[in-house]
Structure 1
Amino acid sequence: MDEQLANHYAHRADSYDTTWGHRPDYLDWMEHRIHRRLALRPGLRIADIGAGTGLFLRRLMRHASQDTPVVCADPSPAMLGRLPSDPRLLPVRATAEELATGTVGLPWPALDGIVIKEAVHHFSALDRTLAGLARLLVPGGRIVVVTLPPKTGYPLFAAARDRFAARQPEPAQIAGALEQAGLRTVLETDAYPVRIDREEWLKLVAGRWMSVLSSFPDGELDAGLREIAERYPAGELAFDDRFAFITGERPAGQDRG
Protein backbone atom coordinates (compact mmCIF):
# COMPACT_ATOMS: atom_id res chain seq x y z
CA MET A 1 0.00 0.00 0.00
CA ASP A 2 1.47 3.36 -1.01
CA GLU A 3 1.86 6.16 1.52
CA GLN A 4 -1.02 8.28 0.22
CA LEU A 5 -3.44 5.36 0.39
CA ALA A 6 -2.19 4.30 3.82
CA ASN A 7 -2.74 7.83 5.11
CA HIS A 8 -6.21 7.91 3.59
CA TYR A 9 -7.37 4.79 5.44
CA ALA A 10 -5.63 5.75 8.66
CA HIS A 11 -7.50 9.05 8.54
CA ARG A 12 -10.83 7.44 7.60
CA ALA A 13 -10.76 4.53 10.06
CA ASP A 14 -12.64 6.21 12.92
CA SER A 15 -15.42 7.56 10.69
CA TYR A 16 -15.50 4.87 8.00
CA ASP A 17 -18.57 3.04 9.27
CA THR A 18 -20.65 6.20 9.48
CA THR A 19 -20.40 6.78 5.72
CA TRP A 20 -23.05 4.21 4.93
CA GLY A 21 -23.32 2.54 8.33
CA HIS A 22 -26.34 4.64 9.28
CA ARG A 23 -28.17 3.07 6.32
CA PRO A 24 -28.96 -0.44 7.58
CA ASP A 25 -31.05 -1.13 4.47
CA TYR A 26 -27.93 -0.73 2.32
CA LEU A 27 -25.88 -3.01 4.57
CA ASP A 28 -28.60 -5.67 4.38
CA TRP A 29 -28.87 -5.23 0.62
CA MET A 30 -25.14 -5.72 0.08
CA GLU A 31 -24.65 -8.50 2.63
CA HIS A 32 -27.52 -10.50 1.14
CA ARG A 33 -25.97 -10.36 -2.32
CA ILE A 34 -22.54 -11.42 -1.10
CA HIS A 35 -23.99 -14.16 1.11
CA ARG A 36 -26.07 -15.64 -1.73
CA ARG A 37 -23.15 -15.80 -4.14
CA LEU A 38 -20.82 -17.42 -1.62
CA ALA A 39 -23.42 -20.11 -0.81
CA LEU A 40 -22.38 -20.00 2.85
CA ARG A 41 -22.87 -22.71 5.41
CA PRO A 42 -21.33 -23.36 8.85
CA GLY A 43 -17.72 -24.47 8.99
CA LEU A 44 -16.53 -22.89 5.75
CA ARG A 45 -13.11 -21.22 5.73
CA ILE A 46 -13.73 -17.68 4.53
CA ALA A 47 -11.40 -14.72 3.99
CA ASP A 48 -12.55 -11.13 3.48
CA ILE A 49 -9.68 -9.43 1.65
CA GLY A 50 -9.74 -5.67 2.11
CA ALA A 51 -12.05 -6.20 5.08
CA GLY A 52 -11.48 -2.74 6.50
CA THR A 53 -13.54 -2.27 9.66
CA GLY A 54 -15.67 -5.35 9.01
CA LEU A 55 -18.75 -3.37 8.07
CA PHE A 56 -20.10 -6.13 5.81
CA LEU A 57 -19.32 -9.16 7.96
CA ARG A 58 -22.51 -9.73 9.94
CA ARG A 59 -23.98 -12.43 7.72
CA LEU A 60 -20.59 -14.11 7.29
CA MET A 61 -20.12 -14.19 11.07
CA ARG A 62 -23.34 -16.16 11.49
CA HIS A 63 -21.59 -19.12 9.88
CA ALA A 64 -18.28 -18.63 11.68
CA SER A 65 -17.02 -19.92 15.03
CA GLN A 66 -13.99 -19.52 17.24
CA ASP A 67 -12.60 -22.69 15.66
CA THR A 68 -13.32 -21.50 12.11
CA PRO A 69 -13.26 -17.69 12.18
CA VAL A 70 -13.61 -15.34 9.21
CA VAL A 71 -10.17 -14.09 8.21
CA CYS A 72 -10.25 -10.29 7.94
CA ALA A 73 -7.27 -9.28 5.83
CA ASP A 74 -6.32 -5.64 5.33
CA PRO A 75 -3.00 -3.78 5.08
CA SER A 76 -4.23 -0.89 7.26
CA PRO A 77 -3.68 -1.42 11.00
CA ALA A 78 -6.01 1.51 11.71
CA MET A 79 -8.87 -0.15 9.83
CA LEU A 80 -8.25 -3.57 11.41
CA GLY A 81 -8.19 -1.86 14.80
CA ARG A 82 -11.84 -0.95 14.28
CA LEU A 83 -12.98 -4.54 13.76
CA PRO A 84 -15.56 -5.80 16.27
CA SER A 85 -13.98 -7.62 19.19
CA ASP A 86 -15.33 -11.07 18.38
CA PRO A 87 -13.57 -14.47 18.45
CA ARG A 88 -15.32 -15.32 15.17
CA LEU A 89 -13.09 -12.74 13.41
CA LEU A 90 -9.36 -13.22 12.82
CA PRO A 91 -7.53 -10.02 11.76
CA VAL A 92 -4.58 -10.50 9.41
CA ARG A 93 -2.52 -7.51 8.36
CA ALA A 94 -1.74 -8.22 4.71
CA THR A 95 -2.24 -6.98 1.19
CA ALA A 96 -3.96 -9.11 -1.42
CA GLU A 97 -0.61 -9.49 -3.16
CA GLU A 98 1.00 -10.88 0.01
CA LEU A 99 -1.78 -13.44 0.41
CA ALA A 100 -1.71 -14.37 -3.28
CA THR A 101 2.04 -15.07 -3.21
CA GLY A 102 2.05 -16.72 0.22
CA THR A 103 4.28 -13.98 1.67
CA VAL A 104 1.72 -13.75 4.48
CA GLY A 105 0.18 -17.05 5.45
CA LEU A 106 -3.37 -17.99 6.38
CA PRO A 107 -4.48 -20.28 9.20
CA TRP A 108 -5.53 -22.91 6.64
CA PRO A 109 -3.80 -24.25 3.52
CA ALA A 110 -6.89 -23.51 1.39
CA LEU A 111 -10.13 -21.55 1.51
CA ASP A 112 -13.77 -22.32 0.77
CA GLY A 113 -14.59 -18.69 0.02
CA ILE A 114 -13.04 -15.30 -0.61
CA VAL A 115 -14.79 -11.91 -0.54
CA ILE A 116 -13.24 -8.81 -2.10
CA LYS A 117 -15.54 -5.81 -1.76
CA GLU A 118 -14.48 -2.55 -3.41
CA ALA A 119 -10.79 -3.29 -2.97
CA VAL A 120 -9.75 -4.84 -6.28
CA HIS A 121 -8.90 -1.41 -7.76
CA HIS A 122 -6.03 -1.20 -5.26
CA PHE A 123 -4.43 -4.44 -6.52
CA SER A 124 -1.13 -4.23 -8.34
CA ALA A 125 -0.61 -6.76 -11.15
CA LEU A 126 -4.35 -7.44 -11.16
CA ASP A 127 -4.38 -10.64 -13.22
CA ARG A 128 -1.48 -12.23 -11.32
CA THR A 129 -2.93 -11.31 -7.94
CA LEU A 130 -6.36 -12.70 -8.77
CA ALA A 131 -4.76 -15.89 -10.12
CA GLY A 132 -2.82 -16.32 -6.88
CA LEU A 133 -5.96 -15.83 -4.81
CA ALA A 134 -7.87 -18.27 -7.02
CA ARG A 135 -5.24 -20.92 -6.27
CA LEU A 136 -6.18 -20.68 -2.59
CA LEU A 137 -9.67 -22.04 -3.29
CA VAL A 138 -10.58 -25.68 -2.71
CA PRO A 139 -12.53 -27.48 -5.47
CA GLY A 140 -16.04 -26.07 -5.26
CA GLY A 141 -14.74 -22.94 -3.49
CA ARG A 142 -15.90 -19.50 -4.58
CA ILE A 143 -14.51 -16.00 -4.85
CA VAL A 144 -16.87 -13.01 -4.95
CA VAL A 145 -15.51 -9.69 -6.18
CA VAL A 146 -17.73 -6.63 -5.68
CA THR A 147 -16.61 -3.57 -7.57
CA LEU A 148 -17.82 -0.29 -9.02
CA PRO A 149 -17.72 0.15 -12.80
CA PRO A 150 -15.38 2.87 -14.09
CA LYS A 151 -18.30 5.11 -15.04
CA THR A 152 -19.95 5.85 -11.73
CA GLY A 153 -23.26 7.62 -11.23
CA TYR A 154 -21.98 9.50 -8.19
CA PRO A 155 -22.50 13.30 -8.31
CA LEU A 156 -18.79 14.10 -8.25
CA PHE A 157 -16.85 16.89 -9.90
CA ALA A 158 -15.54 16.12 -13.38
CA ALA A 159 -11.87 15.66 -12.46
CA ALA A 160 -12.78 13.15 -9.75
CA ARG A 161 -15.03 11.18 -12.11
CA ASP A 162 -12.27 11.05 -14.72
CA ARG A 163 -9.58 10.02 -12.23
CA PHE A 164 -11.86 7.39 -10.71
CA ALA A 165 -12.59 5.93 -14.17
CA ALA A 166 -8.88 5.78 -15.02
CA ARG A 167 -8.07 3.81 -11.85
CA GLN A 168 -11.02 1.41 -11.85
CA PRO A 169 -10.66 -1.93 -13.71
CA GLU A 170 -13.49 -3.00 -15.98
CA PRO A 171 -15.60 -5.80 -14.45
CA ALA A 172 -15.10 -7.84 -17.63
CA GLN A 173 -11.33 -7.67 -17.07
CA ILE A 174 -11.76 -9.06 -13.56
CA ALA A 175 -14.02 -11.83 -14.83
CA GLY A 176 -11.52 -12.65 -17.57
CA ALA A 177 -8.66 -12.91 -15.09
CA LEU A 178 -10.62 -15.35 -12.95
CA GLU A 179 -11.52 -17.42 -16.01
CA GLN A 180 -7.85 -17.53 -16.98
CA ALA A 181 -7.17 -18.82 -13.47
CA GLY A 182 -9.45 -21.78 -14.17
CA LEU A 183 -12.62 -20.62 -12.43
CA ARG A 184 -16.17 -20.79 -13.76
CA THR A 185 -17.17 -17.15 -13.72
CA VAL A 186 -20.44 -15.23 -13.65
CA LEU A 187 -20.62 -11.42 -14.01
CA GLU A 188 -23.79 -9.73 -12.78
CA THR A 189 -24.75 -6.13 -12.07
CA ASP A 190 -27.14 -4.59 -9.57
CA ALA A 191 -27.94 -1.12 -8.30
CA TYR A 192 -28.87 0.34 -4.95
CA PRO A 193 -30.92 3.56 -5.06
CA VAL A 194 -29.34 6.36 -3.01
CA ARG A 195 -31.22 9.34 -1.64
CA ILE A 196 -29.10 11.87 0.25
CA ASP A 197 -29.29 15.57 1.03
CA ARG A 198 -26.86 17.60 -1.06
CA GLU A 199 -25.25 19.16 2.01
CA GLU A 200 -24.62 15.75 3.53
CA TRP A 201 -23.11 14.61 0.24
CA LEU A 202 -20.82 17.64 0.13
CA LYS A 203 -19.63 16.77 3.65
CA LEU A 204 -18.77 13.23 2.49
CA VAL A 205 -16.82 14.54 -0.47
CA ALA A 206 -15.07 17.16 1.67
CA GLY A 207 -14.08 14.37 4.07
CA ARG A 208 -12.55 12.43 1.14
CA TRP A 209 -14.69 9.36 1.81
CA MET A 210 -13.63 7.80 -1.51
CA SER A 211 -9.96 6.94 -1.78
CA VAL A 212 -9.66 8.72 -5.14
CA LEU A 213 -10.54 11.99 -3.39
CA SER A 214 -7.41 11.73 -1.26
CA SER A 215 -5.38 12.32 -4.42
CA PHE A 216 -6.68 15.89 -4.72
CA PRO A 217 -4.95 18.65 -2.71
CA ASP A 218 -7.13 20.97 -0.67
CA GLY A 219 -7.38 23.70 -3.30
CA GLU A 220 -8.50 21.31 -6.05
CA LEU A 221 -10.97 19.61 -3.73
CA ASP A 222 -12.46 22.97 -2.72
CA ALA A 223 -12.90 23.86 -6.39
CA GLY A 224 -14.54 20.48 -6.94
CA LEU A 225 -16.97 21.09 -4.09
CA ARG A 226 -17.97 24.39 -5.67
CA GLU A 227 -18.49 22.62 -8.98
CA ILE A 228 -20.81 20.07 -7.36
CA ALA A 229 -22.77 22.81 -5.54
CA GLU A 230 -23.22 24.73 -8.80
CA ARG A 231 -24.27 21.68 -10.81
CA TYR A 232 -26.69 20.13 -8.33
CA PRO A 233 -29.48 22.20 -6.71
CA ALA A 234 -29.91 22.23 -2.95
CA GLY A 235 -32.15 19.49 -1.60
CA GLU A 236 -32.14 15.74 -2.11
CA LEU A 237 -29.79 14.03 -4.54
CA ALA A 238 -31.01 10.81 -6.14
CA PHE A 239 -28.71 8.41 -7.97
CA ASP A 240 -28.02 4.70 -8.34
CA ASP A 241 -25.02 3.08 -6.67
CA ARG A 242 -24.20 0.52 -9.38
CA PHE A 243 -22.14 -2.56 -8.58
CA ALA A 244 -20.65 -5.43 -10.52
CA PHE A 245 -20.63 -8.82 -8.79
CA ILE A 246 -18.11 -11.27 -10.23
CA THR A 247 -18.36 -14.81 -8.87
CA GLY A 248 -15.71 -17.39 -9.68
CA GLU A 249 -15.97 -21.04 -8.67
CA ARG A 250 -13.25 -23.67 -8.86
CA PRO A 251 -14.81 -26.72 -10.53
CA ALA A 252 -15.19 -29.79 -8.33
CA GLY A 253 -12.33 -32.18 -8.91
CA GLN A 254 -10.06 -29.52 -10.43
CA ASP A 255 -6.55 -29.43 -9.00
CA ARG A 256 -5.59 -26.10 -7.36
CA GLY A 257 -2.37 -25.98 -9.40
Structure 2
Amino acid sequence: MNHTELLKLAIKASIDAGVKILEIYENEDFGIQSKDDESPLTVADIASNNAIMEYLKTTNIPIISEENKEIAYVDRRDWNECWIVDPLDGTKEFIKKNGEFTVNIALCKLGKPTLGIIYVPVTREIYYAEVSKNVAYKSILDQNHNITKALFSEEDRIVPSLLDKDIIRVVGSRSHMNKNTLDYIDSVKSNFDSVDIVSKGSSLKFCLVAEGKADVYPRFAPTMEWDTAAGQAICNAVGLNVISQETNEELDYNKESLLNPFFLVRK
Protein backbone atom coordinates (compact mmCIF):
# COMPACT_ATOMS: atom_id res chain seq x y z
CA MET A 1 0.00 0.00 0.00
CA ASN A 2 1.15 3.55 -0.68
CA HIS A 3 0.76 6.27 1.93
CA THR A 4 -2.58 7.51 0.63
CA GLU A 5 -4.00 3.98 0.74
CA LEU A 6 -2.66 3.54 4.27
CA LEU A 7 -4.27 6.83 5.26
CA LYS A 8 -7.64 5.77 3.85
CA LEU A 9 -7.41 2.45 5.71
CA ALA A 10 -6.62 4.20 8.98
CA ILE A 11 -9.53 6.59 8.43
CA LYS A 12 -11.88 3.60 8.09
CA ALA A 13 -10.36 2.05 11.21
CA SER A 14 -10.84 5.21 13.25
CA ILE A 15 -14.48 5.58 12.19
CA ASP A 16 -15.29 1.94 12.94
CA ALA A 17 -13.62 2.33 16.33
CA GLY A 18 -15.60 5.51 16.98
CA VAL A 19 -18.88 3.72 16.29
CA LYS A 20 -17.89 0.97 18.74
CA ILE A 21 -17.08 3.61 21.37
CA LEU A 22 -20.43 5.35 20.94
CA GLU A 23 -22.33 2.08 21.40
CA ILE A 24 -20.82 1.92 24.88
CA TYR A 25 -21.00 5.69 25.48
CA GLU A 26 -24.77 5.56 25.27
CA ASN A 27 -24.90 3.07 28.16
CA GLU A 28 -24.29 3.77 31.82
CA ASP A 29 -21.95 0.84 32.49
CA PHE A 30 -18.49 1.70 31.17
CA GLY A 31 -16.76 -1.16 33.01
CA ILE A 32 -14.27 1.30 34.52
CA GLN A 33 -11.00 -0.12 35.82
CA SER A 34 -7.74 1.48 36.95
CA LYS A 35 -4.48 0.73 35.14
CA ASP A 36 -1.11 0.49 36.89
CA ASP A 37 -0.58 4.25 36.49
CA GLU A 38 -4.05 4.83 38.01
CA SER A 39 -5.45 6.17 34.72
CA PRO A 40 -8.92 4.87 33.87
CA LEU A 41 -9.65 2.06 31.44
CA THR A 42 -13.11 1.29 30.08
CA VAL A 43 -14.61 -1.43 27.92
CA ALA A 44 -14.78 1.23 25.19
CA ASP A 45 -10.95 1.50 25.16
CA ILE A 46 -10.74 -2.24 24.55
CA ALA A 47 -13.53 -2.38 21.95
CA SER A 48 -11.96 0.49 20.01
CA ASN A 49 -8.51 -1.08 20.16
CA ASN A 50 -9.79 -4.43 18.92
CA ALA A 51 -11.52 -2.77 15.96
CA ILE A 52 -8.42 -0.79 14.98
CA MET A 53 -6.13 -3.81 15.23
CA GLU A 54 -8.29 -5.72 12.75
CA TYR A 55 -7.58 -3.06 10.13
CA LEU A 56 -3.95 -2.25 10.86
CA LYS A 57 -2.70 -5.81 11.13
CA THR A 58 -3.44 -6.24 7.40
CA THR A 59 -0.65 -3.75 6.63
CA ASN A 60 2.10 -5.87 8.23
CA ILE A 61 3.46 -2.70 9.84
CA PRO A 62 4.21 -3.09 13.58
CA ILE A 63 1.89 -1.35 16.02
CA ILE A 64 2.36 0.52 19.28
CA SER A 65 -0.97 0.98 21.05
CA GLU A 66 -1.81 2.19 24.51
CA GLU A 67 -3.98 -0.87 25.03
CA ASN A 68 -1.65 -3.50 23.55
CA LYS A 69 0.96 -5.35 25.56
CA GLU A 70 4.07 -3.18 25.87
CA ILE A 71 6.80 -4.17 23.42
CA ALA A 72 10.38 -4.06 24.68
CA TYR A 73 12.66 -1.50 23.05
CA VAL A 74 15.11 -4.22 22.03
CA ASP A 75 12.32 -5.53 19.78
CA ARG A 76 11.28 -2.06 18.53
CA ARG A 77 14.53 -0.21 17.99
CA ASP A 78 15.12 -1.44 14.43
CA TRP A 79 11.63 -0.62 13.21
CA ASN A 80 11.78 1.84 10.33
CA GLU A 81 8.04 2.37 10.43
CA CYS A 82 5.24 1.77 12.91
CA TRP A 83 1.67 2.65 13.72
CA ILE A 84 1.07 4.52 16.99
CA VAL A 85 -2.49 4.26 18.30
CA ASP A 86 -4.58 5.66 21.11
CA PRO A 87 -7.92 3.90 20.70
CA LEU A 88 -9.67 6.26 23.14
CA ASP A 89 -7.84 9.48 23.92
CA GLY A 90 -9.55 11.40 26.69
CA THR A 91 -10.96 8.51 28.69
CA LYS A 92 -11.65 10.95 31.54
CA GLU A 93 -13.70 13.08 29.14
CA PHE A 94 -15.50 9.93 27.97
CA ILE A 95 -16.41 9.07 31.57
CA LYS A 96 -17.58 12.65 32.17
CA LYS A 97 -19.70 12.33 28.99
CA ASN A 98 -18.65 15.76 27.68
CA GLY A 99 -17.93 14.48 24.17
CA GLU A 100 -14.30 15.64 24.09
CA PHE A 101 -12.65 12.31 23.36
CA THR A 102 -11.03 11.02 20.20
CA VAL A 103 -9.58 8.07 18.32
CA ASN A 104 -5.94 8.69 17.36
CA ILE A 105 -3.99 6.79 14.70
CA ALA A 106 -0.59 7.82 13.34
CA LEU A 107 2.02 6.26 11.10
CA CYS A 108 5.61 7.13 11.97
CA LYS A 109 8.74 6.58 9.93
CA LEU A 110 12.23 6.89 11.39
CA GLY A 111 10.75 8.53 14.47
CA LYS A 112 8.64 11.15 12.70
CA PRO A 113 4.86 11.16 12.07
CA THR A 114 3.97 10.83 8.39
CA LEU A 115 0.19 10.22 8.61
CA GLY A 116 -2.29 11.31 11.25
CA ILE A 117 -5.97 10.69 11.87
CA ILE A 118 -8.07 12.03 14.75
CA TYR A 119 -11.74 11.07 14.84
CA VAL A 120 -14.23 12.74 17.20
CA PRO A 121 -17.11 10.24 17.49
CA VAL A 122 -19.67 12.52 19.16
CA THR A 123 -19.41 15.32 16.58
CA ARG A 124 -18.45 12.96 13.70
CA GLU A 125 -15.53 15.24 12.78
CA ILE A 126 -12.46 13.59 11.32
CA TYR A 127 -9.09 15.32 10.96
CA TYR A 128 -6.51 13.68 8.71
CA ALA A 129 -3.20 14.56 7.13
CA GLU A 130 -0.37 13.24 4.99
CA VAL A 131 2.65 15.22 6.15
CA SER A 132 4.67 14.92 2.93
CA LYS A 133 1.88 16.69 1.02
CA ASN A 134 1.76 19.59 3.52
CA VAL A 135 -2.02 19.57 3.82
CA ALA A 136 -4.54 18.54 6.46
CA TYR A 137 -8.30 18.21 6.30
CA LYS A 138 -11.38 18.16 8.50
CA SER A 139 -14.43 16.32 7.19
CA ILE A 140 -17.80 15.85 8.86
CA LEU A 141 -19.57 12.51 8.53
CA ASP A 142 -23.31 11.97 8.37
CA GLN A 143 -25.46 10.76 11.27
CA ASN A 144 -24.55 7.15 10.48
CA HIS A 145 -20.81 7.91 10.40
CA ASN A 146 -20.61 7.61 6.63
CA ILE A 147 -18.27 9.71 4.51
CA THR A 148 -20.66 11.40 2.11
CA LYS A 149 -18.22 13.23 -0.14
CA ALA A 150 -14.74 12.69 -1.51
CA LEU A 151 -11.87 12.83 0.92
CA PHE A 152 -9.12 15.42 0.40
CA SER A 153 -11.61 18.05 -0.76
CA GLU A 154 -10.16 21.55 -0.95
CA GLU A 155 -13.17 22.92 0.92
CA ASP A 156 -12.26 20.64 3.86
CA ARG A 157 -8.68 21.82 4.04
CA ILE A 158 -7.64 23.40 7.35
CA VAL A 159 -4.97 26.03 8.00
CA PRO A 160 -3.67 27.70 11.17
CA SER A 161 -4.42 31.36 11.84
CA LEU A 162 -2.09 34.29 11.50
CA LEU A 163 -0.95 35.49 14.90
CA ASP A 164 -2.78 38.61 16.03
CA LYS A 165 -0.63 41.03 18.03
CA ASP A 166 -3.65 42.12 20.05
CA ILE A 167 -4.65 38.72 21.39
CA ILE A 168 -3.14 35.26 21.71
CA ARG A 169 -5.36 32.23 22.15
CA VAL A 170 -3.72 29.59 24.33
CA VAL A 171 -5.29 26.16 24.34
CA GLY A 172 -5.10 24.22 27.58
CA SER A 173 -6.15 20.84 28.84
CA ARG A 174 -9.61 20.34 30.25
CA SER A 175 -8.17 17.97 32.85
CA HIS A 176 -4.47 18.89 33.18
CA MET A 177 -4.07 22.68 33.59
CA ASN A 178 -1.15 23.14 36.01
CA LYS A 179 1.21 25.75 37.44
CA ASN A 180 3.78 25.37 34.64
CA THR A 181 1.10 26.08 32.07
CA LEU A 182 -0.21 29.03 34.03
CA ASP A 183 3.36 30.37 34.32
CA TYR A 184 3.74 30.10 30.55
CA ILE A 185 0.51 32.03 30.05
CA ASP A 186 1.81 34.75 32.37
CA SER A 187 5.07 34.90 30.40
CA VAL A 188 3.34 35.71 27.10
CA LYS A 189 0.99 38.33 28.50
CA SER A 190 3.56 41.10 28.09
CA ASN A 191 3.66 40.55 24.31
CA PHE A 192 -0.08 40.81 23.71
CA ASP A 193 -2.94 43.04 24.77
CA SER A 194 -4.87 40.05 26.04
CA VAL A 195 -4.68 36.29 26.42
CA ASP A 196 -7.67 34.08 25.71
CA ILE A 197 -7.65 30.62 27.32
CA VAL A 198 -9.31 27.92 25.23
CA SER A 199 -10.02 24.76 27.25
CA LYS A 200 -10.37 21.45 25.48
CA GLY A 201 -9.85 17.76 26.23
CA SER A 202 -7.86 15.04 24.47
CA SER A 203 -5.99 15.49 21.18
CA LEU A 204 -8.57 18.08 20.12
CA LYS A 205 -6.08 20.66 21.43
CA PHE A 206 -3.79 19.94 18.46
CA CYS A 207 -6.76 20.23 16.10
CA LEU A 208 -7.75 23.64 17.45
CA VAL A 209 -4.34 25.08 16.63
CA ALA A 210 -4.16 23.32 13.25
CA GLU A 211 -7.52 24.73 12.13
CA GLY A 212 -6.89 28.25 13.41
CA LYS A 213 -9.15 28.25 16.47
CA ALA A 214 -6.18 28.69 18.83
CA ASP A 215 -2.64 29.99 18.39
CA VAL A 216 -0.44 27.98 20.71
CA TYR A 217 -0.66 24.83 22.80
CA PRO A 218 1.77 24.48 25.72
CA ARG A 219 1.81 21.01 27.24
CA PHE A 220 3.83 21.01 30.42
CA ALA A 221 2.46 17.80 31.86
CA PRO A 222 3.17 14.13 31.06
CA THR A 223 1.96 12.60 27.81
CA MET A 224 2.76 9.38 26.00
CA GLU A 225 3.62 8.95 22.33
CA TRP A 226 0.13 7.69 21.50
CA ASP A 227 -1.34 10.89 22.94
CA THR A 228 0.54 13.11 20.48
CA ALA A 229 1.63 11.31 17.30
CA ALA A 230 -1.57 11.84 15.29
CA GLY A 231 -1.92 15.43 16.47
CA GLN A 232 1.69 16.17 15.58
CA ALA A 233 1.19 14.78 12.07
CA ILE A 234 -1.80 17.06 11.53
CA CYS A 235 0.06 20.08 12.92
CA ASN A 236 3.25 19.38 10.96
CA ALA A 237 1.21 19.03 7.77
CA VAL A 238 -0.07 22.62 8.13
CA GLY A 239 3.33 24.08 9.01
CA LEU A 240 3.14 24.00 12.81
CA ASN A 241 5.93 22.74 15.05
CA VAL A 242 5.60 20.43 18.05
CA ILE A 243 8.74 21.34 19.94
CA SER A 244 10.29 19.40 22.81
CA GLN A 245 11.16 21.63 25.73
CA GLU A 246 14.21 19.39 26.39
CA THR A 247 15.81 19.35 22.92
CA ASN A 248 14.13 22.31 21.18
CA GLU A 249 13.47 19.91 18.30
CA GLU A 250 10.33 18.15 17.05
CA LEU A 251 9.08 15.31 19.24
CA ASP A 252 10.47 11.89 18.30
CA TYR A 253 8.61 8.57 18.30
CA ASN A 254 9.32 4.92 18.99
CA LYS A 255 11.83 6.03 21.62
CA GLU A 256 13.20 3.72 24.29
CA SER A 257 10.84 5.47 26.70
CA LEU A 258 7.42 6.16 25.21
CA LEU A 259 6.98 9.07 27.63
CA ASN A 260 7.15 12.46 25.91
CA PRO A 261 9.03 15.49 27.21
CA PHE A 262 7.01 18.65 27.78
CA PHE A 263 6.32 20.40 24.47
CA LEU A 264 4.94 23.50 22.78
CA VAL A 265 2.83 23.58 19.62
CA ARG A 266 3.43 26.77 17.64
CA LYS A 267 4.45 28.20 14.29
* TM-score category, normalised to shorter length: under 0.3
* Higher relative helix content: 1
| Relative contact order, higher structure (CA 8 A, sep 6+) | 1
If the length of structure 1 is used for normalisation, what is the TM-score? 0.28
